[in-house]
Structure formats: C-alpha cells, structure tokens
Structure 1
Amino acid sequence: MNFEKLHILLACNLGASTGVMVGKMEEIVKNSEKLKGKDILIEAHPAGELREHIEAFDVVLLGPQISHRFDELAEIAAAYHKPIEVINSQDYGTVNGGNILKAAIALQLNSQ
C-alpha cells in the first residue's frame, strides 16, 4: 500500500445507513495485516453537511441512494481538491466493506 493515511468520508441522506458500513470497514481495517499501522479514519455524515466535514478527509464516497446528487456534491469536493465517487450499489446493498475499502484506496491512489 502506497499510503500512510486515508481518511474516508461516507456520505448519504442522513448518515445513518452508512453507519453500519463504517463499522464493517473498521472491522476489516482492524483485522488486516496490510492496513495495520496506517492512519485510517472512516466516518459517515449526511451529504448536506459535506462542506462542514470534507476538509478532514482524503476521499468522499457517496451512498448509491444519493447518486442523483453526484454533480452537486462533486462541485463541492472539487473546490477542496478531494476525489469523490459513488459506492457500487451491489457492494453497498450487501454491506461489502472490503470492496468499498478497496474502492476508497484506489480512489486516493488514482488521485495522487
């Protein structure tokens, strides 16, 4: 892994549905030999609060239920030079924290 720090912001309507995903992703980080010792922070916040939180994060992942707001939220992310992407709906629906974590890592590495 070519990073020491990865702070991931999961954004959805109210921040509640992604709370479960945060827990799953944190569990994977905790149990991963490759990710041990890395500064990884994962939080969920409502998309309406993006401006309030975005500076503290490296990447932004949107819940698929708000993909219709991508252009609006991408403008905010661009103003802060933060990469943004919509979470794969199948991974989101099956709470596949591993795939979503991999997507966040790839997003950060591709934006460097």
Structure 2
Amino acid sequence: MKLLLVCSAGMSTSILVTKMQQAAAEKEMTADIQAIAESELQQHVEGADVVLIGPQVRYLEKNIRQTVEPFGVKCDVMDQSAFGMMRGDQLLEQALQLMK
C-alpha cells in the first residue's frame, strides 16, 4: 500500500508518518507512507493508493482531487481529531476504509 499525506510543506505530517508506520507494523502490513507538500503531489501520485489531506490545507481538496482522480487514487481530508492527537492508527484505518 502506498499512502501520501499532503500538507502545505510536508512538515507537520512527517510525525504522523512514523506513527502510521508503527500502526501498520502492528497490523503486520507493508506500507509505503510519505509526507509531501501539496506542490510535490504531481511527482509522487503515480502508484499511490490513497492520499490523505492535512486539515490545515483542506481548502486545497478540490485541486488535489483533480490531480489524483486521473490516477484512480482515493482521496480524503484527514480526520481533524486524529490529526490533532497524532493518532497514526486512526489515520491508517481511515486510509484502509478508503481502499475498500
């Protein structure tokens, strides 16, 4: 599973990458999880399964959806509570639900 976390500069979501990787390991899943800036999305979207958008850039959701839809990538805004509490397990579950 390839999962992209998008925020304005890729910084705030980088902490979540580690927490989500830990949650994936606990589920014995292999997951390629990356935090990227919205400006880098076009270079990373190919081969992705899910894009989760940081709540602080939810205003970019329409543009991000237009970027990922041609690639068949599922997309959603991260749950704000899970993001704020740095709950990697909950955000991983959100991504898994999108893939169903």
TM over 0.5, shorter chain: yes
CA distance in 1, matches of 2:41, 2:64: 8
Q: Which residue type is aligned with residue 55 of structure 2?
A: P
1:20 matches 2:11: no
Q: Which residue type is aligned with residue 98 of structure 2?
A: L
Please name the residue that 1:79 is paired with.
70
CA distance in 1, matches of 2:31, 2:41: 19
Query: Deviation at 1:39?
Result: 2.8
Determine which structure has more spread, i.e. the larger CA radius of gyration.
Answer: 1
Please name the residue that 1:3 is paired with.
none
Q: Percent identity?
A: 28
CA distance in 2, matches of 1:63, 1:39: 22
Q: Report the 3-state secondary structure (helix = DSSP H, G, I; strand = E; otherwise coil) of the residue aligned with 1:56.
A: coil
1:58 matches 2:49: yes
The C-alpha deviation readout for 1:49-96, integer Å capped at 9, x for no partner, is 111000131110000000001001100111211110000111100001
CA distance in 1, matches of 2:48, 2:73: 8
Task: Give me the CA root mean square deviation.
Answer: 0.9
Q: Which residue type is aligned with residue 46 of structure 2?
A: E
Q: TM-score, normalised by structure 1?
A: 0.85
Q: Report the 3-state secondary structure (helix = DSSP H, G, I; strand = E; otherwise coil) of the residue aligned with 2:92.
A: helix
Give the ranges of 4+ consecutive aligned residues of structure 1 lying more than 4 Å apart after TM superposition. none
Aligned length: 100
Please name the residue that 2:99 is paired with.
108
Q: Does the Cα contact within 8 Å between 2:5 and 2:34 map onto a contact in 1?
A: yes
Please name the residue that 1:91 is paired with.
82
Q: TM-score, normalised by structure 2?
A: 0.95
Q: Report the 3-state secondary structure (helix = DSSP H, G, I; strand = E; otherwise coil) of the residue aligned with 2:32.
A: strand
Structure 1: state its 5+ residue gaps: 1-5
